Structure 1
Amino acid sequence: MARVVSSFFVGALVRRCETEGAFAAIARRGSPEAGAIFVKVLRPGRLADLYAPAPQVLFDDERPADRLFEKVMDGAAEADVEARLRRETDFDPDLWIVEIEDRQGRGFVETIPVPPPGAEIFR
């Protein structure tokens, strides 16, 4: 089963945020069909979280049809998140960046389960 194209996913994400009372904006438009999507969540105090596409190695044999994300930065200084996004953009100029302002710190994306400390993540 094919997953939806990036432009459609991003548009749906922005609409979902708005219906849930958060503000979302597309900070960078990437490849409409298959651009990687990064989600930056702005929190009070100039802190931010960053969600990135989940690494392929973490998927089971049956890959999900929808996109999964991994929280790669949690409560970081906004400047640090911006620096990470600049590095990601240098590596992949076709990526998308969605910025969300939400007092509750919600990312509105499905994330991979975080293994407990010391757990082995490879099968």
Structure 2
Amino acid sequence: MSGSELKSEIWVKALLRTAQAHGAAGHVVRRGHGEAGAVLVKVARLDGTARLLVPARDGAGTRLFLDLTGKTAGPDEMSIDAYLAKRASQDDDIWIIEIEDKDGRSFISERVD
């Protein structure tokens, strides 16, 4: 994490406030390391489908999120939940956030690829 990036806990709080301000619900499914834990985001569409967004870096080192929906897991919620449970069992530091929005909005301000 570079000095200009927010701590994970602060970033998560801001994401949840933004979702709430736009009429969506969001909650912490799993709390990770407060300063530098990776934040994985599940966006549930409330119809049994979801998106899976995971952090990454581009060639210049800029943080972005990769949409792994249909690649690693999903678009069904059950396969995304299974993927997230596996990741959580392998990494004590990760955060898992769930946003519930029927339109599938993530409210992530970083680039999503």
Normalising to structure 1: TM-score of the pair? 0.79
What is the identity, as a one-letter code, of the residue corresponding to 1:30? Answer: G
Which consecutive residues of structure 2, in runs of 5 or more, have no partner in the other structure?
Answer: none
Comparing 30-39 and 73-82, the one that deviates more:
73-82
> Computing the radius of gyration over CA atoms, which structure comes out larger, 1 or 2?
1
- Once the two structures are TM-superposed, the CA of residue 103 in structure 1 deviates from its matched residue by 1.3
Comparing 25-34 and 43-52, the one that deviates more:
43-52
Q: Once the two structures are aligned, what percentage of the paired residues are identical? A: 38
SS in structure 2 at match of 1:90: helix
CA separation in 1, counterparts of 2:79 and 2:69?
Answer: 9
Write the deviation string for residues 40-98 of structure 1: whole angstroms up to 9, x where unpaired: 011132111110012x4xx233x23xx42111115611110011101111221210011
Judge conservation of contact 1:42–1:99 (CA < 8 Å) in 2.
yes
What is the identity, as a one-letter code, of the residue corresponding to 2:83? Answer: R
1:1-123 matches, within 5 Å, as: 1-54=3-56, 56=57, 59-61=58-60, 63-64=61-62, 67-74=63-70, 76-109=75-108, 110-113=110-113
- Once the two structures are TM-superposed, the CA of residue 7 in structure 1 deviates from its matched residue by 0.2
SS in structure 1 at match of 2:34: coil
Q: Structure 1 runs of 4+ off > 3 angstroms?
A: none
What is the identity, as a one-letter code, of the residue corresponding to 1:79? Answer: M
Judge conservation of contact 1:37–1:53 (CA < 8 Å) in 2.
yes
- Once the two structures are TM-superposed, the CA of residue 112 in structure 1 deviates from its matched residue by 4.0
Give the superposed CA RMSD. 1.5
How many residue pairs end up in the alignment? 107
Which consecutive residues of structure 1, in runs of 5 or more, have no partner in the other structure?
Answer: 114-123
